[in-house]
Chain A
Amino acid sequence: MSHLGDNLSALVDGELTGTDLDRANAHLAACERCRGDAAALRALKSQLRGLGGGAGHAELTSKLLAVAGQPPEYLDVAADTRLSPGRRRYFVWGALSLAVVGGVGAAAFGMGGGQPGTRPGPDVVPQTEMFSVQHATTSGDVPFPEPSRSEGSAVRPHQSAARVPVRRP
């Protein structure tokens, strides 16, 4: 008499359909050994679900699978659902980088708000005499005299007299 073999696991997992399912159920009804194996496998899977894939139970799961004669690939499901220290480090650095860059970008966006230089500030009368001499210093030219102004910035009358309007041909 041939037993269910690989079909036992498929049966327990609900993967069999149609004729295969009927044939497996018929065999199970007549074979005490396969019924026992199926019950043990269901109990094992129920235990595994109760473990929740926690990292500390990996060794226990491995041993249980070994007892049940199942291949160790079941372990990969549990192992892949948690982060190794190396991957965790990458994720931390990535998150930190994103946080810093995002923070700088957000700060720049925040600081860039408002109208530039909207503060009216104090009244300023241009110090044109001082500016004219500074212009002459940097450009190597002669300082321009002050035009006549009745008030405002400092006025040097003698320089105003120096500039005489002329007409060119």
Chain B
Amino acid sequence: MRSVPRRPALLLSIVATISVPGALTALAVLGHYQHESAASSVQTVSGLPVPSGLPEPNARAEVPAIVTQAQARARARGAALLRQAAAAGRTAAYQGVESIADTTMTGPGTMVARVWHRGGVTVMQAGSGRPEQAYDSDGRATEGVFGVTTTMVGLLENRYVPVYLGTGTTVGHSALIVAVRRADGSTAARYWLDAKTRLPLRRDLYGASAGVVSDERFTRVRFATTTIPKAAAGPGSTGWATVASPVRLLSELNGSGFRVPRTLPGNLSLYAASRARTSSGRVADFGFSDGLLAVSLFVERGSLPRKMPGWRAERVSGHLVYAAQHEVTMSGRGFVYTLVSNAPPPTVDAVVRALPPSGSPAAPPGILGRMGRGFDRLVSVLDPFR
């Protein structure tokens, strides 16, 4: 009988030690997610209607049922060819002229550039300007032609179905044609790969309902050991440090009081992050993609100046944003957000609406939200990489 009165004290200690931190953690997590609310709006940067075919975030394209063995072989070959194309972008020696036509935020346009590539070095010359070594960053090997990199192919295979269609000809070279299909069977992209080297010679991107939204192709190409012109380092070739964990950097930014989601509208997943210093301070870069479309989000502290010459001012969800060709920039609550993307304007519009300056309501967060934000800030203070 004498031991009975002790048990409540023991139980109280155990319960307090275990359950109270758990409850507070649960409250903090609930508060964390309470922040992630995005306002909806029908306004768009481009003035184009909101896309109706954008999949929900985190939605994973379901592979249509395999009907025949021939289709299964075509899919396997399509995926293998794209992986070979990604490798060819790193290893093949070539020179040529690239033409890229797409619909930008300010209307359709075409860019022409000469390109040389050999031994992991790429030099580009836009128009009549001087050649610049534009790709190499952090000493990493150069890779990628028309967005066909190992990373992008991996993302693509998670969301689409590559299918080998057959042979064809482009820019005077025999080509293997690979179509990239959506879950509903529609074509999202089509690649022409050089039959010998597998280097991408052409890529067309198709909107869900708008036909061709991007046409990238070589108008002239030659595969051979070529002399690469002397090139100056491009403006983005120095200073960027790749972050090993993009999610961690994103969490760090969110600890400052904002909510940048891991997946942007259009099922664009976070796949890369980097940091750099500019004349105005530190800047973080977050790369989002589905394997075809890519959005780079640059975040830096500060605010945009009152006058932004050369940019077109628009209102999205009541917030002022500025659009250029492939860029959209906006500021709010102490940060400047700049998007660079090859995505069509409707997708960029959806992304803009999901970002903090226009997407987060100004309502007070409540107790749970406040505790969640406080925990975020505590973690940020304790983060040694901050």
Nearest CB in chain B: distance from A15 CB, A: 23
Give every chain A residue within 8 A of B258 (Cβ-Cβ).
116-117
Give every chain B residue within 8 A of A113 (Cβ-Cβ).
370, 374
Question: Cβ of A124 and Cβ of B300 under 8 Å apart?
Answer: yes
Give every chain B residue within 8 A of A132 (Cβ-Cβ).
236, 326-327, 340
Question: Cβ of B374 and Cβ of A108 under 8 Å apart?
Answer: yes
Q: From known contacts A147-B106, A161-B128, infer whether A140 and B144 are also in contact, taking CB-CB under 8 Å.
A: yes
Question: Cβ of A131 and Cβ of B20 under 8 Å apart?
Answer: no
Question: Cβ of A111 and Cβ of B378 under 8 Å apart?
Answer: yes
Q: Does B172 contact A (CB under 8 A)?
A: no
Main SS at interface, chain B: mixed
Number of A-B contacts defined by CB within 8 Å: 289
State which size class the interface on A falls in: 35 or more
Task: Name the residue on B nearest A165 (C-beta).
Answer: B109
Q: From known contacts A128-B338, A135-B294, infer whether A112 and B235 are also in contact, taking CB-CB under 8 Å.
A: no
Q: Does B345 contact A (CB under 8 A)?
A: no
Q: Does A70 contact B (CB under 8 A)?
A: no
Question: Cβ of B340 and Cβ of A128 under 8 Å apart?
Answer: yes
Q: Does B152 contact A (CB under 8 A)?
A: yes
Q: Does B187 contact A (CB under 8 A)?
A: no
Q: Does B9 contact A (CB under 8 A)?
A: yes
Q: Does A130 contact B (CB under 8 A)?
A: yes
Q: Does B50 contact A (CB under 8 A)?
A: no
Q: Does B333 contact A (CB under 8 A)?
A: yes
Interface size on B, residues (CB 8 A): 109
Task: Name the residue on B nearest A133 (C-beta).
Answer: B236
Contact with B336, one of A76, A126, A161, A166 (Cβ below 8 angstroms):
A126
Question: Cβ of B236 and Cβ of A142 under 8 Å apart?
Answer: no
Q: Scan residues 107-151 of chain A and give those whose CB is less than 8 A from a CB of chain B.
A: 107-113, 115-145, 147-151
Q: Does A98 contact B (CB under 8 A)?
A: yes
Q: What 1/0 mask marks residues of chain B from 142 to 177 whose CB sits below 8 Å from any chain A CB? A: 011111110110000000000000000000000000
Nearest CB in chain B: distance from A167 CB, A: 7
Q: Does A93 contact B (CB under 8 A)?
A: yes
Give every chain B residue within 8 A of A108 (Cβ-Cβ).
28, 371-372, 374-375, 377-378
Nearest CB in chain B: distance from A130 CB, A: 5
* Chain B CB within 10 A, most for which of A109, A138, A147: A138
Q: From known contacts A117-B333, A118-B334, A150-B310, infer whether A101 and B144 are also in contact, taking CB-CB under 8 Å.
A: no
Q: Does B278 contact A (CB under 8 A)?
A: yes
Give every chain A residue within 8 A of B108 (Cβ-Cβ).
165-168
Give every chain B residue within 8 A of A128 (Cβ-Cβ).
324, 327, 329, 338, 340
Question: Cβ of B308 and Cβ of A152 under 8 Å apart?
Answer: yes
Contact with B302, one of A90, A112, A124, A168 (Cβ below 8 angstroms):
A124
Question: Cβ of B146 and Cβ of A141 under 8 Å apart?
Answer: yes
Q: From known contacts A124-B302, A133-B235, infer whether A164 and B110 are also in contact, taking CB-CB under 8 Å.
A: yes
Question: Cβ of A112 and Cβ of B370 under 8 Å apart?
Answer: yes
Give every chain B residue within 8 A of A141 (Cβ-Cβ).
144, 146-147, 216, 294, 342
Nearest CB in chain B: distance from A139 CB, A: 4
Q: Does B197 contact A (CB under 8 A)?
A: no
A143 to B233, CA, bound (A): 14
7 pairs of A and B residues whose beta carbons are closest in the complex: A140-B144, A116-B257, A149-B310, A133-B236, A158-B129, A112-B374, A162-B127
